[in-house]
Structure 1
């Protein structure tokens, strides 16, 4: 009994000792605040390395971490957009340790994932095809009502207005005209042909994840129209989209734009992204005094939905749709809808109704088989003065791809089927153009070594009008170092031409369209050498240099000839060559102070040679520059953005030797400034001035629209051959012509907007 009593007493003493030790200074507490140069950083991740202890800062940047074992610990603080903070702390007493943690802004940008160059999701640095990526942040630096306008600050890309009256346009890449650019939504060829004029309007910015641009032919993957380049608008998925977002702005010219985006959970495995865009402009402004609207009046609405379904093994299933309607008109200030289609008061009135559906379905098999599909229906009801233009276009597309890795080969096999239908009321379309084009393509990306990869690809298309069409391409990537990449791309492209995708110069009655022969498909060959370099400095500055040399040679090029006869546009296949060549470079620099800039320049020579005579392509500049400069005043929660572009002279479509308008445009520039305040939770307020220099194309010209006082040519005299005769009231022998256009007529104007986002 004495032995048991002694051991029991010893056990009680030991238990009392450990109990006191446990309650007396074994654990510590850590409190503090996370800041960025004195400004609280909310929701930063705070943890002790190699432990399970962690927390995050609240809206005021404050955090508290309890029950920390005594001793030495490695404190880590991380937050997207900042460098990770690391510090060894010594906890030797039960008193609370208090810290103020200052995070340093990380200038290095997270590497984007791109899909456009190879139809596969890869890191941008790993893609053998150079792909330019632009985020919603880039779009916000100069807010616009459409993607068409937003692209004006992308180097080598220019929105071209094709009509002084109705203000429709297309996108030029490296000096090549709009029909050579294919526009995709989520990788599907939704916007093409007739829809190119209007399809870049009405896509809600709140649902855009990024815009990817490839310069150069991509027909080996995407078929016809991807001759000069392509633009892929990628929408957000539900993980990245906000629960609700709204963006509204107005301008001093009376333009109103509203974007609304929302994420809706239907069930545990089904969610929907909803986007609505509404734009309205109904002011009659004629600052250049020609009795014509300087800006087309517009009333536009677009509704977008994207359904995402969760499936077994994370297989893909999504369906999206968009409806677009627009009523726009421009013309004489006295025009009203009662004059539509008549010859009393001139106006160009366009009703557009368009709907689209697209989707992706990954087959429930072991192999990675993806079925993609899209369909769009575009109805156009237009009146150009007394000339009606009624057109319908329907495009259906389906594609099946098989993605397979075998050793050092990454293979993509695909089959596609495209349905094209086009009909209009013009004499050029005697019967509806309807064709089905089947395609097969294969692509093999080969890892030659750790730093070298080679891509080989070829596509076969069969068009009953033109027979067999083959489009091969190759791409080589050399990762010279961790920060230097050299890419060499070569490939071919083709375009089956549908001439009447709304030729304004003909439909306004100014010129007749003459087609001298049966047009053959255009073919192109392109070589592109791209160099990309990342630079890191000791003070935290991060820079990227991206430079390219490009050369594109077209055969069978179909070009409008405005010069032989001022009353005609003559189309035929070029008996010679058409060449686009040049150099392009971007420099993107981000400083730790909050200052950053993106500057780009392109020098290009775009010309045609026929019968030994070489001439510059009309409406194509020989150099261009763009810039985006921003500074973030963190203490004031204010950001300033200064954006702009500069264009060199371009040859313009004048009406002969007696036309007093300049044959070449001057050097011109559009510049903008914006201030954005982020001082309230979930809100952003922004405002500024667009077109700071108040530049408009009428500078230096006696007029822009020829014979705006006689738009129906009622007082124009013609001789027996159809040529215009000079008369006292028409001394320069001109006809009505609104095709002399190379830039917007909008002058300086202020703007103000509000953004709200709920996550």
Structure 2
């Protein structure tokens, strides 16, 4: 279809031409706009266009199409003559072309790194807006936010079916979200601070040390140099949830730029749709204050430093619980007060060499009650690292030294003194390490990365973690990568025993837990294909295999009253395949879909078992379409999970020991006028209104087990009042209890 501009211009010349991709194919229905009056026309299905009766003189054209970089073209219209143009548009930068840092600890194009890294931008997360990064990760393929308690709604992040302790969470490349803060820390990171999220699946211990066994998630905050001068995002739901994000930047002189971010979240509306007399969703009030400085101190060298304060008051429990019942046995509630502050920074030394000092420190203070069980804990983590980056011909070298100190103290037997259980013996652990990697360019198509790290733990001695990576370019946009590496994890007491705090299960650690060790191999293919109608398809396919020794396994089954921890006398395997497909069509439709098929097993004494809360299949999708005539974008997002084994309370428990297939789906409509940075959005979350069974909390009517009969051995005795021999237990959880709800929000930014 061709739109003529005859009625818009008085005379005299004609403009013809064709819009082509870099592959020489016509770009269907590309848009051509005359910049002097914003009037324009459209190419036909083959990319050809004609405009008659254009006024003679110099003109500027703005040429654009979905999936391509907008281009400005200058030309001249002559009286009574025809001017012909051939305009070539370059493909828009996709996730293939973006800069990443996580895989090799240095900035490099995603096309060039030998380590496969997935990138997720704020635009991706806006398709399903959430108040924090924990919930936002639900639409990332192979990554699942797992709730671990029906009452307090704590959770962790699973990657490829591996539990939260196997996932390392970094903030600007520093491991400050770990241990005590893994359970609550992610819910306190607002999406408004995020520039991008980088995900590496598979061990990364050769660069990042302990905890990076199953993979890592690096949350990179915005730079004051790139952020909007002012931004605001306010969202509310019909459940009476309110989330407010504010951000602004300020220049101080010519060398200092600052960024301030404020997040406030409030939910104070108890709802009990499943009729168990417990809140379906934890009530929360939290505030996060963030401030970041970017200081140019010597030539092109920078000093970046950021500070954040986070406070949260959350509770869940019986519907008529109030803070006056906190810590008592009259009404059951789980109440958690969290105070946290952190400082992190990077200083580029004023030398010719690329030397950088990174550091962080955080203080996490938790005051909580789980029913009448008090839990008071403090954790401080200090981290410092010096890196040296050097290029020598075909070698790109990176080396560094790092140290992480962890202080942890609580009021449980986990830190009690062996001589006197009333006296705590805080954990003070120092984990120093050195690492080196060499990225070798063999030729134009091949790269090899060799890496090695040595860490020393005061209890476990030296720990070695080598890795090797190989990259082969089939062509510019099609790449094959093979990675083989090792990982290790030192047990963290809080991470291991947190599930016991709810439901009164006791923790039993059978022996001194040894560090877990793993070896992983993954084969990755990443490519991009152009379609005939000038769209493109991105493909990211991975096959992975991880073998564990000394796997730390929680046993919920042997004794319903306990969680028993011990190193596995055997081995564990996690294997599977994962694929992401990114469709970008010329008509404006964008679809990102992914699926992961995996098999996680534990082998001990010749018996093979499947870990609890581990699905065989997971899938995600995100479809977006913009209707340009009314400036409206429609986003349809969702996920799908296969069955997983659940922690039931013995053979008599009437609850199913396997979850059903389940899916959370959402739809959003966003109106964004072209002449403004305003966005008005709204939609429906959990369209299918999926929630777990109403009996997810065992014996919710007797949360303090006052009506439970125990024998002399401490086992539950079946009675007329308790025919299934159950105790109160809210740990039977695999999906959120929050059903369908509407949401509405407004965003506005000043560039």
**TM-score, reference length from structure 2:** 0.90
Alpha-carbon shift at residue 591 of structure 1 (Å): 0.5
* Partner in structure 2 of residue 405 of structure 1: 391
Alpha-carbon shift at residue 90 of structure 1 (Å): 5.0
Identify if the C-alpha distance between structure 1 residues 351 and 83 changes in structure 2 by more than 3 Å, giving closer, same or farther: closer
Q: Give the one of 166, 170, 180 matched to 2:156.
A: 170
Distance 2:228 2:36 in 1: 21
* Partner in structure 2 of residue 748 of structure 1: 740
1:714 aligned onto 2:699: no
Alpha-carbon shift at residue 664 of structure 1 (Å): 0.1
Alpha-carbon shift at residue 205 of structure 1 (Å): 2.3
SS at 2:414 equivalent:
coil
Distance 1:593 1:584 in 2: 28
Please give the residue correspondences for 1:442-521 in structure 2 after superposition, counting only pairs within 5 Å: 442-501=436-495, 503-521=497-515
Identify if the C-alpha distance between structure 1 residues 289 and 98 changes in structure 2 by more than 3 Å, giving closer, same or farther: farther
Alpha-carbon shift at residue 533 of structure 1 (Å): 1.3
Q: How many residues align?
A: 707
Identify if the C-alpha distance between structure 1 residues 631 and 105 changes in structure 2 by more than 3 Å, giving closer, same or farther: farther
8 Å contact kept, 1:136–1:209: yes
- Root-mean-square deviation (CA, aligned residues, Å) is 2.9
Alpha-carbon shift at residue 203 of structure 1 (Å): 2.6
1:458-492 CA-to-partner distances (Å, cap 9, x unmatched) read 00111111100111011000011122100000111
Distance 1:672 1:563 in 2: 36
8 Å contact kept, 2:503–2:731: no
Q: Give the one of 665, 689, 697 matched to 1:694.
A: 689
Q: Give the one of 329, 341, 364 matched to 1:355.
A: 341
Identify if the C-alpha distance between structure 1 residues 37 and 206 changes in structure 2 by more than 3 Å, giving closer, same or farther: farther
1:538 aligned onto 2:532: yes
Identify if the C-alpha distance between structure 1 residues 224 and 59 changes in structure 2 by more than 3 Å, giving closer, same or farther: farther
Please give the residue correspondences for 1:75-94 in structure 2 after superposition, counting only pairs within 5 Å: 77=62, 82-83=68-69, 89-92=75-78
1:264 aligned onto 2:234: no
1:155 aligned onto 2:141: yes
Distance 1:282 1:75 in 2: 56
Q: Give the one of 405, 424, 430 matched to 1:419.
A: 405
8 Å contact kept, 2:36–2:60: no
8 Å contact kept, 1:651–1:664: yes
SS at 1:674 equivalent:
strand
8 Å contact kept, 2:31–2:64: no
8 Å contact kept, 1:105–1:592: no
* Partner in structure 2 of residue 705 of structure 1: 697
Task: From the CA coordinates, give the structure whose radius of gyration is larger.
Answer: 1
Q: Give the one of 553, 560, 577 matched to 1:559.
A: 553
Distance 1:108 1:124 in 2: 11
Q: Give the one of 720, 723, 747 matched to 2:715.
A: 723
* Partner in structure 1 of residue 177 of structure 2: 191
1:561-591 CA-to-partner distances (Å, cap 9, x unmatched) read 0111111110000000111100000100101
Identify if the C-alpha distance between structure 1 residues 520 and 125 changes in structure 2 by more than 3 Å, giving closer, same or farther: same
SS at 1:428 equivalent:
helix
SS at 1:379 equivalent:
strand
Distance 2:394 2:716 in 1: 68
SS at 2:493 equivalent:
coil
1:114 aligned onto 2:100: yes
Alpha-carbon shift at residue 239 of structure 1 (Å): 3.1
8 Å contact kept, 1:117–1:131: yes
Question: Which consecutive unaligned segments of at least 5 residues does structure 2 have?
Answer: 1-11, 20-26, 42-54, 417-424
* Partner in structure 2 of residue 206 of structure 1: 192
8 Å contact kept, 2:646–2:658: yes
8 Å contact kept, 1:207–1:241: no
1:301 aligned onto 2:287: yes
Please give the residue correspondences for 1:27-46 in structure 2 after superposition, counting only pairs within 5 Å: none
Question: Which consecutive unaligned segments of at least 5 residues does structure 1 have?
Answer: 1-27, 47-55, 63-69
SS at 1:477 equivalent:
strand
1:710-734 CA-to-partner distances (Å, cap 9, x unmatched) read 1001110011111100011101000
Identify if the C-alpha distance between structure 1 residues 694 and 105 changes in structure 2 by more than 3 Å, giving closer, same or farther: farther
Identify if the C-alpha distance between structure 1 residues 100 and 630 changes in structure 2 by more than 3 Å, giving closer, same or farther: farther
8 Å contact kept, 2:697–2:730: yes
Identify if the C-alpha distance between structure 1 residues 459 and 103 changes in structure 2 by more than 3 Å, giving closer, same or farther: closer
* Partner in structure 2 of residue 388 of structure 1: 374
* Partner in structure 2 of residue 25 of structure 1: none
8 Å contact kept, 2:28–2:533: no
1:415-447 CA-to-partner distances (Å, cap 9, x unmatched) read 011111111100111210001221110000001
Distance 2:375 2:185 in 1: 18
1:365-385 CA-to-partner distances (Å, cap 9, x unmatched) read 111101000111100111001
Distance 2:741 2:618 in 1: 24
1:169-190 CA-to-partner distances (Å, cap 9, x unmatched) read 0000000000111111111112
Distance 1:173 1:754 in 2: 32
Distance 2:163 2:560 in 1: 21
Distance 1:58 1:310 in 2: 41
Distance 2:445 2:167 in 1: 32
8 Å contact kept, 1:107–1:540: no
Distance 2:405 2:36 in 1: 55
Alpha-carbon shift at residue 635 of structure 1 (Å): 1.0
8 Å contact kept, 1:108–1:542: no
Distance 2:93 2:252 in 1: 38
Distance 2:479 2:548 in 1: 29
